[in-house]
Amino acid sequence: MPHSQNSNIVCQRIKLRGVVQGVGFRPFVRRLAKELKLTGWVRKDGHGLEIEVCGDAEQVHHLVERLREDAPSISRVDSVLAQDAAVDTHAEDFYILNSEGGRAPAMIANDTAVCRDCLAEMFTPTNRRYRHAFASCTHCGPRYTVCRALPYARERTSLKAFTACPKCQNEYRKTSDRRHHHEINCCPKCGPQLTLLDAAGRPLPGDPLAQTVALLAQGKIVAIKDPGGFHLACDARNAAAVAALRERKHRDEKPFNVMLANPASASTFVQLGVGEPGLLAMPERLIIMLKKRASCDAALPGVAPGVGWLGVMMPCTPLHYLLFHEAAGSPEGLGWLDLPQKLALLMTAADPGGEPLVIDNQEALERLSGIADAFLLHDREVLARCNDSVARSGPGGLQLVRRSGGYTPRAIKLPRSGPPVLAVGGQFRNTVCVTRGDEAFVSQHIGDLDKAGCSDFFDATINRLLKFLEVKPALVAHDLDRAGHAAQFALDFAHQRAVPTFAVQHHHAHVASVLAEHGVSAPVVALALDGVGHGADGGHWGGELLRVDGVRCERLGHLAPLPLVGEAAAIKAPWRLAAAVLQQLGRGDEIESRFAQADAAAVAQTLTRGDDIVHTSSLGCYINAAAGLLGVKSIASFDGQAASLLEGMADHYGDILPLAGGWTIADGCLNLLPLFAVLADEKDAERGAAIFHSTLVAALADWVCSVAPAGGTIAGGGACFLNMILARGLRSRLGGHGLHLIEPRRLPPNDGGLALGQAWVAQQYLLG
């Protein structure tokens, strides 16, 4: 249908940016163009896609509009730039052209859960993909974890090792097929294969899926290879299996997460609030922290004892679904997917000793020896290590606790475009961030850099991100504290490439991370409520009232200094912090009788002498002190444990009025000692936890109001914002004073968000 020289015929050249490669976008554009009877072509270019389209002016206009509105579900269109072009009167059809030039493509998409269409095929016995553990299509499946390099094409993915069979090739070529241009297309005939090995690495006979489900039912621990690395799995209902996994993984009290078939199955163990079933079913497949039912601990013994929340995840990959399918008796069709299923799989990252996730088959046999009874493996390589992401439902919707698999490497839009920056994050819960233009790419969760192997993973992640994005950083941002691998890497990297470095204070970065994701460039008053971080004066900060204006950060106030007897030891020992509070209340003589710790007397003496003790303004430490004083927890066995227990107790108790006169504010310093004086005599720990939370919220709001201009925006950051009573309470109290609290949403409030904040501050610095 060549166009005549008609006045209604126009031609436009369109540039599309965003996540538009490897997500079925070109076939989508072609379908759309054909539907609108337009001619032209679409191809990948250095920044995304380029489209030339000719035809009726109105129809061309429709196409431009629908590029955004009807875009494929896992794509993301950031910009559509359309310009008039010369009318091509010879064009007869709409074509998908080969990539142009092959320079830096936009970016690869994140992994997403298997879609309903693929599941339907997997559970139809006559379908050629029946029980196929690697089913995917242009709408679903792995991307980041199977991609070795860009531009995205099969020869640069982990499917390179598998030659597509004629049927799969046909699907790839057929424009109307869901797998048209699906680079990792495969089927049971031509794709990767599952194998099941015993603890010694010998193949086990029989069907790997049926055998795995049988082993799980016998209480065995099976290592399962997933797209981002291995999980260790066992039957979460089997107390002996859970206890064995806890012992073999040396995991004392830290809760495990479970995988459940669907929200209907989850409601047996947890209370699902409004919107929470939807969070579970998000294509990113996060672990969602949900409020446990009273019966949960008995039904899932030893999985998450004591704490108020259970981490629940829905199946994500075809392999996960096949395990549930097998356990359900291999029903036909999709009907069973929404019905309650009995199987509850404990799924925990195969990261022994907190070291990076196991990703390789041979590595699994070595590093998981003594932990796993069997290995469910396959021959598709893991190209990017990715832990599961974790979230909970917060006052403003989804609140990320860990942003990793399912999100990486999705970009966060920055308020301004600037030169590329590399930000290396902090020493713990590390992530790194690279900016390109007005996009910030935050890496997957890397972990604590003092753990073996994590520094190598850190280096490799930075190299991979820089390679994918094809940017040369103009500046490298790091923490003010130069100790530790991240800052040292930053200094070396910058030195070798002769680019400047820029140091950003820890809490400044926490706040900046919030400003970056909310697109706020104006100066704001901010609350940084955190564990202990390196302060601008070298001190132990963590309860800070700040004014942040781009690169400038002014300390308006802080929590009253609390003695840290034994520094690192005190941070993990709520009783030591409680002892320090008692000392400050003039009740140091109670320390020995209250705390049955071997060194209670020595701590009391050190506090009395008072010399050589460092102090902290960290709210995390005050929360631990409250937990210690109320007898909730003396020594934490993992980071955040005491705070989580205390929050759970306050939540269980319910609402209570804040304590009148529970705090004082003088010269910007917030002092909570009057509150602690009451807690020290409180006999009911749950009531004490509730009083502590409600009074803390009122005190913090009062503190903010003492400096914030009316009607302003308040930025909140730092790990304490994971505490929902605190976050919800602050939002509503500040709202009552006409102040609008903005909090981290798309990044976690904890140190996982530092890299983005560092990058944003550094970019402001470069832009002047």
Footprint of Zn ion on this chain (CB under 5 A)? 115, 118, 137, 139-140, 165, 168, 187, 189-190
Least separation, in Å, of the C-beta of 127 and Zn ion? 13
Contact 613, 277 (CB under 8 A): no
Q: What are phi and psi of 765, to 5 degrees?
A: -65, -45
Least separation, in Å, of the C-beta of 168 and Zn ion? 3
* Tokens found for residue 110: 């994140």
- Torsion sign, CA atoms 243, 248, 252, 258: negative
Return d(Cα 434, Cα 414) in angstroms, integer: 12
What is the three-class DSSP state of 618?
coil
Cβ-based nearer residue to Zn ion, 159 or 691:
159
Residue 360's alpha-carbon distances to 151, 383, 461, 718, in angstroms, are: 25, 10, 17, 35
Cβ-based nearer residue to Zn ion, 140 or 147:
140
Cβ-based nearer residue to Zn ion, 27 or 437:
27
Least separation, in Å, of the C-beta of 210 and Zn ion? 23
Strand (E) or helix (H) holding 741: strand 740-742
Contact 685, 631 (CB under 8 A): yes
Cβ-based nearer residue to Zn ion, 187 or 627:
187
Cβ-based nearer residue to Zn ion, 190 or 520:
190
Least separation, in Å, of the C-beta of 119 and Zn ion? 8
Cβ-based nearer residue to Zn ion, 134 or 407:
134
Least separation, in Å, of the C-beta of 125 and Zn ion? 18
Tokens 């859970």, residue located = 242
Cβ-based nearer residue to Zn ion, 140 or 258:
140
Least separation, in Å, of the C-beta of 286 and Zn ion? 19
Helices 641-653/619-629 angle, 10° precision: 70
Cβ-based nearer residue to Zn ion, 186 or 350:
186
Least separation, in Å, of the C-beta of 479 and Zn ion? 41
Least separation, in Å, of the C-beta of 325 and Zn ion? 16
Least separation, in Å, of the C-beta of 74 and Zn ion? 10
Cβ-based nearer residue to Zn ion, 133 or 526:
133
Q: What is the dihedral of CA 296, 300, 306, 312, to 10 degrees?
A: -80
Residue 731's alpha-carbon distances to 11, 84, 396, 659, 698, in angstroms, are: 51, 48, 9, 19, 11
Q: What is the DSSP letter of 36?
A: T
Return d(Cα 405, Cα 389) in angstroms, integer: 6
Supply the DSSP string of 655-708, one letter for each residue.
Answer: --PPPTT--EEETTEEE-HHHHHHHTT---HHHHHHHHHHHHHHHHHHHHHTTS
Cβ-based nearer residue to Zn ion, 139 or 380:
139
Q: What are phi and psi of 228, to 5 degrees?
A: -100, 5
Cβ-based nearer residue to Zn ion, 187 or 516:
187
Contact 8, 69 (CB under 8 A): no
Written as one letter, the residue type at 380 is R
Cβ-based nearer residue to Zn ion, 120 or 210:
120
Cβ-based nearer residue to Zn ion, 95 or 172:
172
Cβ-based nearer residue to Zn ion, 134 or 622:
134
* Tokens found for residue 358: 């196991």
Least separation, in Å, of the C-beta of 132 and Zn ion? 9
Return d(Cα 105, Cα 469) in angstroms, integer: 8
> In a 10 Å sphere around its CB, with 0-12 CB exposed, 13-18 middle and 19+ buried, how is residue 681 labelled?
exposed
Residue (of 1, 8, 48, 7) closest to 29 by Cα position: 48
Return d(Cα 136, Cα 316) in angstroms, integer: 12
* Tokens found for residue 344: 């509850």
Least separation, in Å, of the C-beta of 57 and Zn ion? 36
Peptide bond between residue 409 and the one before it cis (omega within 30 degrees of 0): yes
Least separation, in Å, of the C-beta of 121 and Zn ion? 8
Least separation, in Å, of the C-beta of 347 and Zn ion? 22
Least separation, in Å, of the C-beta of 138 and Zn ion? 8
Return d(Cα 124, Cα 106) in angstroms, integer: 37
* Tokens found for residue 575: 């009783």
Cβ-based nearer residue to Zn ion, 20 or 358:
20
Supply the DSSP string of 358-374, one letter for each residue.
Answer: P-SHHHHHHHTTTT-SE
Least separation, in Å, of the C-beta of 25 and Zn ion? 15
Least separation, in Å, of the C-beta of 156 and Zn ion? 19
Cβ-based nearer residue to Zn ion, 192 or 426:
192
Ramachandran region of residue 353, left (φ > 0), alpha (ψ -120 to 50) or beta? Answer: left
- Torsion sign, CA atoms 401, 405, 407, 411: positive
Longest Cα–Cα distance in the chain: 97
Side-chain half-sphere of 670: how many Cα atoms within 13 Å?
31
